[in-house]
Copies of this chain bind each other. A is one copy, B any other.
Amino acid sequence: MTSAFRPGPLNLITDVLGLTVGHLTDEAVRSGATVLRTDGFWAAAVDVRGGGPGTRETEALAPENLVGKAHAIALAGGSVFGLAVADGVVAALSDQGQGLRLKPGSPAIPVVPAAVLHDLGNGGDKAWGLEPPYRRWGIAAIEAASRTFALGRVGAGRGAMAGYLPGGIGSASLDLGGGLMVGALVAANPIGTVYMPDGRSFWAWPFEIDGEFGGRRPGAHPPVVDPMPDASRLYELGRTQVGANTTLAVVACNADLTTAECKRLAMMAQDGIARAVRPAHTPFDGDTVFALASGAIALGEARAVALARLGSAAADCLARAIARAVYEASLG
């Protein structure tokens, strides 16, 4: 039986209305930044499952803490230097008047959680001394934000790897009917591999819609038993430091989720990483999933059932987005 479920019109996270995405890609540095902007102050949460994360403002998203919402999410390469991307986004949004106003006349205070991946060793020009470029890139990425955006070797995914292959930016969406939309955005830089042992079929193949990542299907193949496959980078010297590899993701929907419900959405979406990458969530990955909810659609009764459905869809969208990231990077 064929299902009626389809991607949204763009098959991008921006099918969740109110979101825009902007990239800054620097070919000389071989790095970049990607910013996901909301049109307001959306319920938000984060789930960190990698052993080497690089993050900012994640504690503000804990369900038991005060804020639990975000104006934008910033992703970047550059490891610890990349965290400055949020400085630029905060300044740019505040300059436009977006943010919390705690007192008349004081600056607007945007909440911009951020996460970074490691691309320092990829041969780009990283001799930035006291002036790393990521703060500037955050401002530029906000200026570039749009409902349509490029996939592959752009933005925060410019310097990313997936195993030994180029990684990059991916996205996907699913229309659940009744006005409900779910989407995912990813900067895929996992130490694990997105390919099955045949070296060509994506782990995520069962979830593919309309050949969005090449339509390859696995044939006969040997059992998948090597826990550290050659296509992963676990043995590669110089890349197995903590935090050297990371899948950074945002999942979003237009339901009226609370911060705690966004946390469950992010937790379930981690299963999309598990299904698209093997191994995942190692000590060397910084795997981090943010979740956002616009609140446009009221879930009404049986909220937890609806949340399970949204979480399952978010996991599928994230698995598809990861495969699309590597597929699009391979085309470039």
The answer for the CA separation of A281 and B274 in the assembled complex, in Å, is 12
Is A66 interfacial (CB-CB < 8 Å)? Answer: no
The answer for the CA separation of A187 and B268 in the assembled complex, in Å, is 20
B240 touches A305 (CB 8 A): yes
The answer for the CA separation of A207 and B270 in the assembled complex, in Å, is 20
Which of these binds chain B: A17-25, A100-108, A110-118, A311-319? Answer: A311-319
Is A86 interfacial (CB-CB < 8 Å)? Answer: no
B313 touches A227 (CB 8 A): yes
Given A207-B223, A224-B316, also A240-B283 (CB < 8 A): no
Is A15 interfacial (CB-CB < 8 Å)? Answer: no
Q: CB < 8 Å: which of B209, B283, B307 contacts A304? A: B283
Is A279 interfacial (CB-CB < 8 Å)? Answer: yes
Q: CB < 8 Å: which of B206, B225, B267 contacts A316? A: B225
B225 touches A3 (CB 8 A): yes
The answer for the CA separation of A192 and B311 in the assembled complex, in Å, is 12
Which residues of A200-245 are within 8 A (CB) of B?
206-210, 217-218, 220-228, 234-235, 240, 242
Is A196 interfacial (CB-CB < 8 Å)? Answer: yes
Given A271-B281, A305-B240, also A209-B223 (CB < 8 A): yes
| Chain A positions 2 through 37: 1 when the CB is less than 8 Å from some CB of chain B, otherwise 0 | 110110000000000000000000000000000000
A304 touches B242 (CB 8 A): yes
B227 touches A278 (CB 8 A): no
Residue of B nearest to A316 (CB): B227
The answer for the CA separation of A242 and B268 in the assembled complex, in Å, is 16
A311 touches B3 (CB 8 A): no
Given A51-B264, A228-B309, A268-B281, also A223-B235 (CB < 8 A): no
Q: Which residues of B contact A279 (CB under 8 A)?
A: 268, 271, 308, 311-312, 315
A225 touches B275 (CB 8 A): no
Q: CB < 8 Å: which of B209, B275, B282 contacts A308? A: B282
Which residues of A252-282 are within 8 A (CB) of B?
264, 267-268, 270-271, 274-275, 278-282
Given A208-B223, A227-B176, A316-B224, also A271-B264 (CB < 8 A): no
Q: What distance in Å separates the Cβ of A266 from its nearest Cβ neighbour in chain B?
A: 11
| Chain A positions 166 through 199: 1 when the CB is less than 8 Å from some CB of chain B, otherwise 0 | 0000000010100000000000000110001100
27 contacts between A and B (CB under 8 A): A1-B222, A2-B222, A3-B222, A3-B225, A51-B264, A51-B304, A174-B225, A174-B227, A206-B221, A207-B224, A209-B225, A210-B223, A217-B220, A227-B312, A228-B305, A228-B308, A234-B305, A240-B302, A267-B281, A270-B274, A270-B281, A278-B315, A279-B308, A282-B308, A282-B311, A282-B312, A283-B304
8 extra interchain contacts, Cβ-Cβ under 8 A, other than A51-B304, A228-B305, A268-B281? A1-B197, A51-B264, A209-B223, A225-B316, A242-B304, A270-B281, A271-B271, A282-B312
